[in-house]
Structure 1
Amino acid sequence: MTVRGCGVTNLPAPLADWFAAKAWTPRRHQLEMLAASRAGRSALLVAPTGSGKTMAGFLPSLVDLVENPREGLHTLYVSPLKALAVDVRRNLLTPIEDMGLDIAVETRTGDTPSDRKARQRVRPPQILLTTPESLSLLLSYPDSAALFAGLRTIIIDEVHAFATGKRGDLLALSMARLGTLAPELRRVALSATVADPDAYRGWLSGDGDYESVELVHGDSGAPPRIDIVIPQGRIPWAGHSGRYAAEQVMAEIETHRTTIVFCNTRSLAELIFQDLWKVNAMSLPIGIHHGSLSKEARRKVEEAMASGRLRALVATASLDLGVDWGDVDLVIQMGAPKGASRLLQRIGRANHRLDEPSEAVLVPGNRFEYLEGRAALDAIEAGELDNEPFRPGSIDVLAQHVMAVACAGPFRAEELLAEINRAAPYATLTAEQFDRVLNYIANGGYALKAYEKFRRLTRTADGAWRLSHPSYAVQHRLNAGIIVEAPMLDVRFKNGRSLGKVEEGFGTSLAPGDCFFFMGLALEVLKIDLTDLVVRATSKPARIPTYGGARMPISTHLAERVRHFLHEPAEWARFPADVREWLEMQARRSRLPAPDELLVETFSREKRHYMVLYSFEGWNAHQSLGMLLTRRMESQGLVPMGFVASDYALACWSVEPVVDPASLFSAEILEEEFVEWVEGSALLKRAFREVAVIGGLVERQHPGKKKSGRQVTFSTDLIYDVLRRYEPDHLLLDAAWADARAKMTDVGRLSGLIERAAERIVHVPLERVSPLAVPVLVLIGRETVAQGVADDVLLIEAEALAAEAMREG
């Protein structure tokens, strides 16, 4: 169904006059979103960056508040990023003030002061901008029913960024709750990069009925202009950061108004920031922004960008969604993009206008990354985006939500289950599964029920469930959240001023007197304790903090395109000469795999026997397979010495040669050995730590006291060991297994890889290293080094290895 017939003359006078004063005409999709609202329908808007998606989302709310003025919360806007909520508020306030409308707009995130949060619950603005976690916390208060009773619209921005993950699960549950408190609530979602709109419409509807959600498409914008940096005509053999191009990146910054330099990791952002300053001959103002900086530092940089005081900003994913700084005219991507959708989002930050092309530059770290970058450009040109599939909702998230509902007041199990079933990820949740969740919250499970601290729910005489004690509500609000980062240490000056956080593993590797770079500053360590790293500024030589975080594997879609490149020499004419030479020599010396083949090369070098396979299934899947293959090699007496993985290939080396690679692959490697390996590794413990924190089993904070990362890890490891021994089918162990399979091992892609090996494995024995093997072999001994730190060494080693690989004869 398409709702039409809403023209500019249908706008209230203040809005019509504002458009006229700007000499603007509302875009078709903006008016269609207004028409859908007047018809009482929820809607998904898929429109390119710069097309006015934000105004399209808010226009119905502004119209309704002009035509029907009222106090109280009218519209809730949910974004995946704090920075985006702040940016939207800034951009929304301007037209509201221009029109002279009496409409209050406020943000509520983890950065919002507590006194303002308390006031918002009593006297809320008409429009509140928040995040999934802050919305869930709002719903945990007893006054939430009154707060949300008059809510008319919820707007979910950049819905593709989190709908398919745990934050999407939490938001879906919160929307189901809001649907109970405000039955007339309309749901609106916005995105520029949705590959499967019907799947998102089904998620948005809550009951899977995608036809109940209006689909509105925006007009196509000007195609982006994207270049790939080719330094002195050569693409490096190795490296992941693109640091070799610092001078070229600085030259681009010098010739543009404002540039955002995107990096895939926080460590790389710190490195690139330092590299750019070293070649910043004009002393242009450059900032840095990532999630480990303090909120004061982030806000300061965001305000500087918004006011045009910076010429460049080095950033991570903390800024790649929706933030609209009108003066940005160039985006630079350092390293491989990992997905066409992610690259398109980042490119859209430049020339944030529909009728002007966004300008971007890719800086590949090595030759495989060049192919990946070219694949991403082709996908964008063809309008093909990465499709992240939906999956059943996570049980640890459900447990957190049920606890939030209990904090708001007593509930009846059957009523809450019916409500939860109206959240798309939990539509098939059964009464039996729900009872397991309730019993877990009520007593911690069989192995933990003797402990008072786990008895959070009590059954009343009339069959309802309530909190066992009000203190559990305080604990829930202190600890609730979906994002569980690695254990961190606060970085602060002696006077108490906070700079942000570094990972505990890095912080505890330091000693007083050591120096490191952070937030663009060289810092010297004065003192380290359980939660703090006390520092002072210094001019001494420094190193870069490392952040583990989640690796972004190459998307399945881009991997397929790279396989196609390898098998189609007709494509090579578009590549730089050295990339063509690389592929041509590989074809002569060995083989280039067909898209459905698994190429395995074996060769000897320096008294080691190597096996390299090229599957392009991403680092997680290759890392998992490396562990499994070396175990099998051990059982076959091959004496494996190690392995190294990239997004594109896996290399194993051993004392004895692999003569028959096919014997290492079979179905039971996943059915039996995978389970044995995961259970014996630290993977399951790491996954359990996350679900235990999300599910409320282990607390990160107590009133006035915060646990260190080591304390949290010790607590989760202790409980993990108890449950593995006494209750191996515990709810959270099941949830940890699901996470380990899906995220840490990428078992879906691993399964496809093994299946392909069983059917189309091609073994090529060689006398020496092949050209295709060079980028992965140079990682040996460097895989535990912070990304980018060892690039100079890698380049030297790669050239020597490449000379051997490219030699004729």
Structure 2
Amino acid sequence: MDEPITVAEDWFASRGWQPFPFQREVWQAMQRGASGLLHATTGAGKTYAVWLGALLRARRHPAAARGAPPLQVLWITPMRALAADSVRALQAPLAALAPGWSVGMRTGDTPAAERARQDRRWPAALVTTPESLSLMLTRESAREQLAQVHTVIVDEWHELLGNKRGVQVQLALARLRRWNPSLAVWGLSATLGNLGQAMEVLLGGPGGTLVQGRIDKALVIDTLIPPEPGRFTWAGHLGQQMQQPVIDEIERSSTTLVFTNTRSQAELWYQMLIEARPDWAGLVALHHGSLDQAAREWVELGLKEGRLKAVVATSSLDLGVDFLPVERVLQIGSARGVARLLQRAGRSGHAPGRPSRVTLVPTHTMELVEAVAARRAAQAGRIEQRVSPDKPLDVLVQHLVTVALGGGFTSDDLYDEVRSAYAYRGLTRQEWRWALNFVERGGDSLHAYPEYHRVRPVDGVYRVTDRGIARRHRLQVGTIVGDATMQVKYLGGSRIGTIEESFIARLKPGDCFLFGGRLLEFVRVQDLVAYVRRAERRRGAVPRWNGGRMSLSNELADMMLQVLRGVQQGDVLDGELQAAQPMLAVQQRLSRLPSPETLLVERYRSREGHHLYLYPFAGRDVHMGLASLLAWRLAKDRPNTFSLSFNDYGLELLSALPVDVSAVLDGRAFSSGHLLEDVLASLNSTELSQRRFREIARVAGLVFAGYPGAPKSMKQLQASSSLFFEVFRKYDPGNLLLAQAEREVLSQELDIARLRATLGAMRRKRIEAVVLRHPSPMSLPLMVERFREQLTTEKLADRLQRILRAAEKTLQKTP
């Protein structure tokens, strides 16, 4: 056995630990200089597998023998909240294994004094984020400071892989590999379905060492069964009914994390808990990304120290912060994906040998079926894949300016370097020349404006020579583009957090709303700040945040159809299915149950018009595009007006005039021919593209968000990006950023690949056509989705009561 491995094992033994085989495998691979991906259960010991591997590798590095070493290891984390926790974990073995080392943190939250100390001398290991690493690359001395980095560890790689922040990481790694060809790169993940491809993206090509940590860690996925699930249900129907069962579960546990999928839902559930148990004030907390940083840090510290009874949270607490006191995890509603469910389950029992348990809390009866599907999919290892974006040119444009600031570049060398990043492996010379021309001259439409001449060749090397351009670029390095948000402050000046401008714009002075677990009264807007005071009234609106609704994953949707097929065959042994049986039985009496082999199509005539329901089980995003596509195709020959509704399971087309459904029943409406043209014709694609272009313009550096203390309003930013959009459309139609905006709408908002696959699956299925005498349990939630856009809460309740009374009469007459 190698001597360094013995050193690592001795340190483990000093803490009463025994290394797992996968940890030894990583140590040995890193000593050989190998790069790779470590995939293991949350809380299994991934951190010390790669960190001790990096320390063992450093013992062979020449700089390790000379006092305090230069910067040698970069630890990239996707969230600032994880950084401090990571630093504490990495410091633990230093006294024994690397006494001359220090670990530092560099994120947007790092104080100026600490930044100044780091600028004088870097620590041996640095925990940072993709944005802060990109900012480091803008330094003229970047190569000198980073060339001795021999190991890079990317934590929670699954969180970065499928988005532009991951592309940022890919480009930064390509830069570091050019400076140090022997660079070792390791990714960490607990929830990935495409491990080989994920490793290839991280390493920039094939090869590498894939280590899977197989340890016996118990995983329990169970469900809180509603007392009365009912025969008809809709989104949120069971929420209030589950209040007391959730309180009982929290009461029985030491510390509980209550996960919700949206910030609005988190606000509501926090309020429900405090109203029912006012004695829990100070023991139950709220955590989501719109709350002020100080409030979030207080909650995180309370979790670590075990002072909190429960925390209601969104994905802001999904990732690997180590909260050992957490005993239970509750998931309000469906997690919408297997990977997300496993990630959240791992927040409990976050240590080797401790079981992880997540308890699902259904908010409507179909989520009981979804709970069974999630458990079976997790047991079968059906975890969602994540795919890297394909050559996003806005990120490339930003990177060109970054590298021009960080020492400069020559065209051919940087082209080869960029192509070594997986996302840009297919980048053509023509696309490269366009991007270079865009940052050098502003492209074909902005060449008359000097502020868009961001780089220029100086003695054959492209550099940024304008100090104003340099400052503006450094102020907005990154690919995260925030929603149109506005700060919320008390009249006294203390900050509470941020809320979308569109929500604030609907409020009048005196209106009340829930935020941060408090009932607030809106006072006024001044200087891009919404000022509020504590409210005396009992009720208020709940803010809405964009992007809050997640779409059901393929893996979970496919398993749901298998579960429903099993129900038809008498497989109802799971407790959740027994509880859902009244609803499923009514669905079978009034209609049919969908299955993997059949496509259920329901028709219904009401005073509103002609209803057509389809249940592809392809997720909300696909159903949105599919509903528009089918409405457009069905109205081509005979003009008609449609109202559309959709959820994760199906969609509704409501028309004033009768519809010829023969094209649906024989599958012609599901053709993939001319799909792209038909989708673009069926939607306001220009509006969608313009909205997407706002983000692209910011990342590409066309729109500047303002200087610290003097930010631009969202209206100003939207106006600026809209102006660029129109200028490019009229005078530069070949601008590749326009094409990227359209491509992102199709691939991300409409998920055109999944839509195409869904249409193919629908054509292959046998159509089960049913004419309804009354809305079925599966069609009613689609009606409610539409009603919510039209009716007040009180009128919606009255409407539902009439529908349910009519349903009972229909069931009495139905054999």
**1:405 matches 2:403:** yes
Does residue 728 (structure 1) correspond to residue 721 (structure 2)? The answer is: no
For 2:328 and 2:117, the matched residues in 1 are separated by 41
Post-superposition offset of 1:401: 1.2
| Structure 1 residue aligned with 2:217 | 222
Per the alignment, residue 707 of structure 1 pairs with 712
Quote the offset at 1:705 in angstroms.
Answer: 1.9
Equivalence for 1:567: 565
Q: Structure 1 residues 793, 433: CA separation in 2 closer, same or farther (over 3 Å shift)?
A: farther
Where do 1:657-696 residues align within 5 Å?
A: 657-660=658-661, 661-662=663-664, 664-668=669-673, 670-678=675-683, 680-696=685-701
Tell me which residue corresponds to 2:785.
779
> Which residue identity is paired with 1:529?
Q
Question: How far off is 1:16 after superposition?
Answer: 4.9
- SS state at 1:572 partner: coil
Q: How does 1:189-268 map to 2 (within 5 A)?
A: 189-206=187-204, 208-209=205-206, 211=207, 213-234=208-229, 237-240=233-236, 243-244=239-240, 245-268=242-265
1:250 positional shift: 1.4
Note if contact 1:597-1:756 (Cα within 8 Å) is conserved in structure 2: no
The equivalent residue for 2:277 is 280
Q: CA deviation at 1:373?
A: 2.1
CA shift in 2, pair 1:790/1:324, >3 Å: farther
State the Cα RMSD in Å: 2.6
* Cα offsets for 1:484-532 (capped at 9, x unmatched): 1211001122343222100110112223222222111222223203521
Question: Which residue number corresponds to residue 475 of structure 2?
Answer: 478
Q: Which residue of 2 aligns with 1:58?
A: 51
Distance 2:430 2:601 in 1: 47
How many angstroms does 1:754 deviate by? 2.6
Question: Quick check: 1:448–1:454 contact (8 Å CA) kept in 2?
Answer: yes
Residue 118 (structure 1) shift: 3.8
Of 504, 507, 528, 1:507 maps to 504
Instruction: Choose the corresponding residue for 1:46, options 39, 43, 52.
Output: 39
d(CA) in 2 for partners of 1:199, 1:338: 23
C-alpha distance in 2 between matches for 1:758 and 1:117: 59
Tell me, yes or no, if the aligned pair for 2:167 and 2:388 is still in contact at 8 Å. Answer: no
Distance 1:109 1:252 in 2: 37
| Worse-matched range after superposition: 15-24 or 291-300 | 15-24
* Superposition deviation, residue 636 in structure 1: 4.3
Q: Decide whether the 8 Å contact of 1:237 with 1:795 is kept in 2.
A: no
Write the distance in 2 (CA, Å) between the matches of 1:773 and 1:600: 10
Whichever residue aligns with residue 150 of structure 1, its letter is Q
Q: CA deviation at 1:761?
A: 6.1
Rounded to whole Å, the distance in 2 between the matches of 1:650 and 1:216 is: 42
Using the alignment, how far apart are the partners of 1:794 and 1:246 within structure 2?
24
Cα deviation, residue 686, structure 1? 1.1
Shift of 1:71: 2.1
- Compared with structure 1, are the counterparts of its residues 410 and 422 closer, same or farther at alpha carbon in structure 2 (3 Å cutoff)? same
2:486 counterpart SS class: strand
Letter in 2 for 1:771: P
Equivalent in the alignment of 2:16: 23
Which one-letter code corresponds to 1:490 in the other structure?
Q
8 Å CA contact 1:638, 1:658 repeated in 2: no
**For residue 656 of structure 1, what is the amino acid of its counterpart?**
L
Is 2:637 the counterpart of 1:642?
A: no
Given that 1:78 and 1:129 are in contact with CA atoms closer than 8 Å, whether structure 2 keeps it comes out as yes
The AA in structure 2 aligned to 1:478 is L
Which moves more between the two structures, 269-278 or 493-502?
493-502
Report the equivalent of 2:595.
Answer: 594
Identity of aligned residues (%): 35
Q: Which runs of 5+ in 2 are unaligned?
A: none
Q: 2:386 aligns to what SS in structure 1?
A: coil
Q: Determine the structure 2 residue equivalent to 1:299.
A: 297
SS at match of 2:325: coil
**Separation (CA, whole Å) in 1 of partners of 2:448 and 2:810:** 64
What does 1:67-146 align with in structure 2 at a 5 Å threshold? 68-69=64-65, 70-96=68-94, 101-146=99-144
Q: Does 1:464 align with 2:470?
A: no
State how far apart, in whole Å, the 2-side matches of 1:59 and 1:346 are: 26
One-letter code of the match for 1:243? Answer: G
Q: Residues 721 and 800 of structure 1: is their aligned pair in 2 closer, same or farther, counting only changes over 3 Å?
A: farther
Indicate the SS of the match to 2:601: strand
Residue-by-residue CA offset, 1:622-659 (whole Å, 9 max, x unaligned):
11222233334444446334111101110111112223
**CA pair 778-450 structure 1, distance change in 2 beyond 3 A:** same
Q: Which moved more, 1:378-387 or 1:628-637?
A: 628-637
Partners in 1 of 2:766 and 2:531 — Cα distance?
Answer: 54
Q: TM-score, normalised by structure 2?
A: 0.92
- 1:581 is matched with which residue? 582
In the other structure, the counterpart of 1:610 is 611
CA distance change for structure 1 residues 290 and 721 in 2, over 3 Å: closer, same or farther? same
What is the CA distance between 1:711 and its match in structure 2? 1.1
**Residues in 1 aligned to 2:487 and 2:778: alpha-carbon distance in whole angstroms:** 43
| Contact in 2 for aligned 1:774/1:801 (Cα 8 Å) | no
Distance 1:25 1:790 in 2: 63
For residues 789 and 55 of structure 1, what CA distance do their matches in structure 2 show?
56
Whichever residue aligns with residue 572 of structure 1, its letter is: V
- AA matched with 2:47: T
Q: CA deviation at 1:596?
A: 4.2
Query: Judging changes above 3 Å, is the alpha-carbon distance between structure 1 residues 195 and 321 closer, same or farther for their aligned structure 2 residues?
Result: same
Q: Which residue of 2 aligns with 1:770?
A: 776
Q: Deviations over 1:512-566 (max 9, x none)?
A: 2222221112222232035211222233333221111253211111111112222
Is residue 35 from structure 1 mapped to residue 28 from structure 2 by the alignment? yes
CA distance in structure 1 between the partners assigned to 2:301 and 2:59 by the alignment = 30
8 Å CA contact retained: 2:483, 2:546: yes
**Deviation sequence 1:727-769 (CA, Å, 0-9, x none):** 2221110110111011111111211233334444623333332
Shift of the 685–107 alpha-carbon distance from structure 1 to 2, 3 Å rule, reads: same
Aligned partner of 1:171 in structure 2 is: 169
Q: State the alpha-carbon separation in 2 of the partners of residues 341 and 33 from structure 1.
A: 24
Structure 1 contact 259–312 (Cα < 8 Å) conserved: yes
Equivalent residue runs for 1:386-535 within 5 Å? 386-460=384-458, 462-535=459-532
The number of residue pairs the alignment matches comes to 797
Cα pair 1:778 1:797 within 8 Å, conserved? no
Check the 8 A contact 1:335/1:364 in 2, yes or no: yes
668-677 or 32-41, which deviates more: 668-677
What does residue range 156-167 of structure 1 map to in structure 2 within 5 Å? 156-167=154-165
> Does the residue aligned with 2:718 lie in a helix, a strand or coil?
helix
User: Which deviates the most, 654-663 or 323-332?
Assistant: 654-663
With normalisation by structure 1, the TM-score equals 0.93
* Of 47-56 and 228-237, the range deviating more from structure 2: 228-237
- Match of 2:786, SS state, is coil
For the residues of structure 1 that align with 2:795 and 2:749, how far apart are their CA atoms? 25
Q: Is the alpha carbon distance of 1:170 and 1:94 closer, same or farther for their aligned partners in structure 2, counting shifts above 3 Å?
A: same
Report the CA distance between 1:185 and its aligned residue: 1.5
Whether the 8 Å contact between 2:55 and 2:97 is mirrored in structure 1 is: no
Distance in 2 separating the partners of 1:416 and 1:519: 47
2:742 to 731, 737, 756: 737
Q: Is the 8 A contact 1:610 1:657 kept in 2?
A: no
Per the alignment, in what secondary structure is the counterpart of residue 227 of structure 1? strand
Question: Do 1:259 and 1:329's aligned partners in 2 also have CA atoms closer than 8 Å?
Answer: yes
**Partner Cα separation in structure 1 for residue 391 and residue 365 of structure 2:** 38
Tell me if structure 1 keeps the 8 A contact 2:83–2:128. yes
- Cα shift readout 1:426-485 (whole Å, capped 9, x = no counterpart): 12212221111111122232122222222212233x433222412211111112221112
CA distance, structure 1, for counterparts of residue 798 and residue 543 of structure 2: 19
Q: Secondary structure at the match of 2:730?
A: helix
Q: Distance in 2 between matches of 1:789 and 1:714?
A: 38
Distance 1:766 1:451, change over 3 A: same
Q: Deviations over 1:54-79 (max 9, x none)?
A: 11121123335567354221211111
**Contact 1:51 1:221 (C-alpha < 8 Å) held by counterparts:** no
What per-residue deviation string (whole Å, max 9, x for no partner) do you get for residues 746-794 of structure 1? 11121123333444462333333223212222212225999x9999889
Gaps of 5+ in 1: none
- Give the partner amino acid of 1:494: L
